[in-house]
Amino acid sequence: MTHSHPTFAPGFQVKPWWWEAAEPPDRDTPLPDRAEVAIVGGGYAGLSAALTLRRLGHQAVVLDAERIGWGASSRNGGMVSGGLKVATGDLAKRYGAEEAKRIALTCAASLPFIEETIAREGIDCDYLRCGRYVGAWTPKHHDAMAKRADWLAEVTGLPTEMVPKARQRDFLGSDHYHGGMAAAATGSLHPGKYARGLAAAAERAGATLVDQLRVKGIARQGSFFRIVTDKGEMLADAVLVATNGYSLDRRGTASPWLARRLVPLNSYIIATEELPPETIDRLFPGRRMISDSKRVLNYFRPSPDGKRVLWGGRASFRAATAEQSAPVLHATMVETFPELRDTRITHAWTGMVAFTFDGLPHIGVQDGVHYAAGCQGSGVAMATWLGHNAATKLAGAANERFALDGLNFPTRPTYTGNPWFLPIVGSYYQLRDRLDRMAA
Ligand SMILES: Cc1cc2nc3c(=O)[nH]c(=O)nc-3n(C[C@H](O)[C@H](O)[C@H](O)COP(=O)(O)OP(=O)(O)OC[C@H]3O[C@@H](n4cnc5c(N)ncnc54)[C@H](O)[C@@H]3O)c2cc1C
Closest residue CA from atom 32 of ligand 1: 243
DSSP 377: T
Interior CA angle at 422 toward 259 and 380, to 5°? Answer: 60
The yes-or-no verdict on residue 281 having pLDDT over 80 is yes
CA of 143 to the centre of ligand 1 (A): 33
Query: 117 pLDDT band (50/70/90 cuts)?
Result: very high
- Ligand 1 probe mutation, 19, 51, 64, 349, most atoms within 8 A of CB: 64
Judged by DSSP in three states, 182 sits in strand
Res 314: pLDDT: 83
Burial track 143-171 (b if 16+ CB lie within 10 A, e otherwise): eebeebbebbeebbebebebbeeeebeeb
pLDDT tens figures, 213-229? 999 999 999 999 999 99
The yes-or-no verdict on residue 86 having pLDDT over 80 is no
pLDDT tens figures, 299-351? 999 999 999 999 999 867 777 899 999 999 999 999 999 999 999 999 999 99
What is the maximal distance between C-alpha atoms in the chain? 67
Query: 154 pLDDT band (50/70/90 cuts)?
Result: confident
For strands 248-249 and 232-241, give the pairing. Answer: unpaired
Alpha-helical (H) ranges within 245-365 are 256-259, 277-283, 322-336
Res 360: pLDDT: 94
Could you identify the atom of ligand 1 that is nearest to the CA of residue 253? 41
CA of 8 to the centre of ligand 1 (A): 27
Pocket of ligand 1 (CB under 6 A): 40-46, 63-66, 70-73, 75-79, 81, 214-215, 242-246, 254, 267, 269, 299, 312, 351-353, 375, 377-380, 383
CA of 46 to the centre of ligand 1 (A): 10
Res 429: pLDDT: 85
CB atoms within 10 A of CB 110: 27
The yes-or-no verdict on residue 89 having pLDDT over 70 is no
Q: What is the dihedral of CA 337, 176, 359, 268, to 10 degrees?
A: -20
- Ligand 1 probe mutation, 62, 246, 290, most atoms within 8 A of CB: 246
The yes-or-no verdict on residue 83 having pLDDT over 80 is no
Tell me the average pLDDT across 168-180: 97
Tell me the average pLDDT across 92-110: 91
Res 88: pLDDT: 67
The pTM (predicted TM-score) of the whole model is: 0.97
Percent of the chain surpassing pLDDT 90: 83
Could you identify the atom of ligand 1 that is nearest to the CA of residue 299? 8
Res 12: pLDDT: 97
List, in order, residues 6 or more apart from 39 with CB less than 8 Å away: 46, 49, 50, 60, 61, 62, 63, 239, 240, 242
Closest residue CA from atom 49 of ligand 1: 71
